[in-house]
Amino acid sequence: MTRGKFPPLDMIDTGKGLKVQTPTPHLVSLGSGRLSVAITVLPLKEGITRIGRDDAPVPQDITIEGPGIEAEHCVIENRGGVITLNPCGHLCSLDGAPVTKPTQLTQGYSLCLGKSYVFRFNHPEEASRMKSMLPQKSPVSPLVYSTGHTPSIRAPLMCENPFKGPQPPVLFFRDSFSKHVLFMHGASQSRGMSSLSKCRCGLMSL
């Protein structure tokens, strides 16, 4: 499938599978159609990489077969880490969009040649830069439980507290949830229903 020498590949046994990686830009071949079972990593060397059929008049660096694949199907150029696809007037698409002129490839592109031959484009250096630019995740406000009075962040009730005895525990959230207050009490069911009715005026005003 390939001609010439390519940089060596690192193969790592993770215990659950094999991880293959290379520091250079490369294509991962997913084959042509549902019956393809092989996965091939194809490094893109500095300069020109020709992709086409084995019967092409000019020897191709990567040879593929399948519906819609021309003898000299396309060219991929690597110039200082900038990777450009030249479709050469043949059927090529990136992430499902047809490509009709030279187009720069970026990390993660899905490249389809012909009607069904699919590659994934990986650019390790570019992927590393993209990861470093991702924003840091903001911390989530914690759930706070208190059994005492916290007037500064707890919304006051607008009616008399119907519960007798010590102040019941209060469960509340910081931020936008500070108005939602849950009283936990041990009163009887009938007394609880009456108490909720008395407090309805206060809760609706929050």
- Give the domain CATH number at 70: 2.60.200.20
Q: What is the pLDDT of residues 16-25, one digit of tens each?
A: 776 777 889 9
Is pLDDT larger for residue 140 or for residue 128? 128
Are 10 and 20 in contact by the 8 Å Cβ rule? The answer is yes
What pLDDT was estimated at residue 34?
76
Q: Who has greater pLDDT, 36 or 100?
A: 100
The helix (H) or strand (E) run that includes residue 132 is helix 124-132
- In degrees and rounded to multiples of 5, residue 130 shows phi and psi of -65, -40
DSSP string for residues in 25-81: -EEEEEEESTT----EEEE--SEEEEEE-TT-SS--SEE--STT--TEEEEEEEETT
Q: What is the pLDDT of residue 68?
A: 96
Residue of 162, 81, 173, 92 lying closest to 123 (CA atoms): 81
Same domain (yes/no): 34, 117: yes
pLDDT average, residue stretch 179-188: 44
Calculate mean pLDDT across residues 100-126. Answer: 95
Q: Does residue 42 sit in the same domain as residue 100?
A: yes
pLDDT band at 187 (very low <50, low <70, confident <90, very high): very low
Segment 66-94 mean pLDDT: 97
Say whether both 54 and 100 belong to one domain.
Answer: yes
pLDDT band for position 26 (cuts 50, 70, 90): very high
Single out the residue in 91, 108, 130 at which a domain terminates: 130
Number of domains in the chain: 2
Residues 67 and 113 in one domain: yes
In this structure, the answer to whether residues 91 and 164 fall within a common structural domain is no
**For the residues 123-138, what does the mean pLDDT come to?**
83
- Is residue 136, in this structure, part of any structural domain at all? no
Contact yes or no for 111/105 (Cβ under 8 A):
yes
Do 161 and 77 fall within a single domain? no
The verdict on 155 and 116 lying in the same domain is no
Q: Which of 130, 164, 179 is the last residue of a domain?
A: 130
**Same-domain status, 153 and 109:** no
Q: Report the C-alpha gap between 144 and 172 in whole angstroms.
A: 6
Phi, psi angles (nearest 5°) of residue 173: -115, 155
Q: Is residue 4 part of a domain?
A: no
pLDDT confidence of residue 66: 92
Q: Average pLDDT in the 81-93 region? A: 97
Residue 180: inside a domain:
yes
Q: What is the pLDDT of residue 154?
A: 46
Domain-ending residue, one of 130, 165, 196: 130
Which has more confidence, 198 or 115?
A: 115
Domain that holds residue 156: 143-204
Angle, CA of 124, 128 and 134, to the nearest 5°: 145
* Mean pLDDT confidence for 161-184: 49
> Looking at residues 77-94, what average pLDDT do you find?
97
Backbone angles phi and psi of 190, in degrees to 5 = -65, -40
Within this chain, do residues 55 and 126 fall inside the same structural domain, yes or no? yes
Average pLDDT of the segment spanning 142-158: 51
Q: Minimum mean pLDDT among 41-45, 107-111, 131-135: which range?
A: 131-135
pLDDT at 182: 43
Do 182 and 101 belong together in one domain? no
Please state the rounded mean pLDDT for residues 103-115. 96
